[in-house]
A and B are shown apart, each in its own frame.
Chain A
Amino acid sequence: NAGVTQTPKFQVLKTGQSMTLQCAQDMNHEYMSWYRQDPGMGLRLIHYSVGAGITDQGEVPNGYNVSRSTTEDFPLRLLSAAPSQTSVYFCASRKRGTYNEQFFGPGTRLTVL
């Protein structure tokens, strides 16, 4: 099992550019989430999904889109990047019924100039 994988590991964007952060898991987990990590603020939930075709907003959804067409993949799209979106992004997954024990990917470090 590869677990939760994220690509790319690093990315630099210019303000206004768009991009997609990829996340995949091979554990057949129903639930997947995206978090951003900023110094002194812990991890904040951006969007989450409880299954293919179902997504919902977290604490900080503005400027991000998600979709879940398969169980395995949960991409995060930045529509028009802003410097405030400079952060480390983590994808996580968990199986339904396991009391929120989440498995995290290695992260994507994004810089927006």
Chain B
Amino acid sequence: AQSVTQLDSQVPVFEEAPVELRCNYSSSVSVYLFWYVQYPNQGLQLLLKYLSGSTLVKGINGFEAEFNKSQTSFHLRKPSVHISDTAEYFCAVSDQKNQGGKLIFGQGTELSVKP
């Protein structure tokens, strides 16, 4: 079974500052990793995903994440945030052998960007 831990429930940051949202996972098998974003009162949108290959993954809106197998982490970063990045961010994991569409989500991190 897999599990996902997002280490920060809330991250306040000033506009144009860098940000890192932390995600650790636990799994006994190989996994795919995802970050989703949820803007207020909306559904979830895929930001980026790691399937294989390069451990640095680039997503939409200037976000990127780095897969670290030894530390079982998949932290999300952005060098300079905007007010519009205010949202909740979810890290998720899927077993590579599981084709049933089962995603395991972390608890979420609320990113609040202040002017």
Do A105 and B90 have beta carbons less than 8 Å apart? no
Q: With A42-B90, A42-B106, A43-B105 known to touch, is A100 a contact of B32 (CB < 8 Å)?
A: yes
Interface segment, one of A11-19, A44-52, A60-68, A77-85: A44-52
Do A31 and B46 have beta carbons less than 8 Å apart? no
Which residues of chain A (76-113) have a CB below 8 Å from chain B? 90, 92, 94, 96-97, 99-102, 104-107
Interface segment, one of B63-71, B79-87, B93-101: B93-101
B42 to chain A, nearest CB (A): 6
The contact size tier of chain B is 20 to 34
Residue on B nearest A58 in the bound complex, by CB: B102
Measured between beta carbons, the chain A residues less than 8 angstroms from B43 are 4, 90, 104-107
A97 to chain B, nearest CB (A): 8
- A26 contacts the other chain (CB 8 A): no
Measured between beta carbons, the chain B residues less than 8 angstroms from A94 are 101
Do A42 and B44 have beta carbons less than 8 Å apart? no
The contact size tier of chain A is 20 to 34
Measured between beta carbons, the chain B residues less than 8 angstroms from A4 are 43
Q: Please measure, in the bound complex, the distance between the C-alpha atom of A58 and the C-alpha atom of B1, giving whole angstroms.
A: 12
B46 to chain A, nearest CB (A): 6
Which residues of chain B (41-85) have a CB below 8 Å from chain A? 42-46, 49, 51
A72 to chain B, nearest CB (A): 16
Q: With A43-B90, A90-B43 known to touch, is A100 a contact of B34 (CB < 8 Å)?
A: yes
Query: 10 additional contacts, CB 8 Å, given A96-B99, A107-B43?
Result: A32-B101, A42-B6, A42-B90, A97-B99, A99-B32, A99-B49, A99-B51, A100-B94, A104-B44, A106-B43
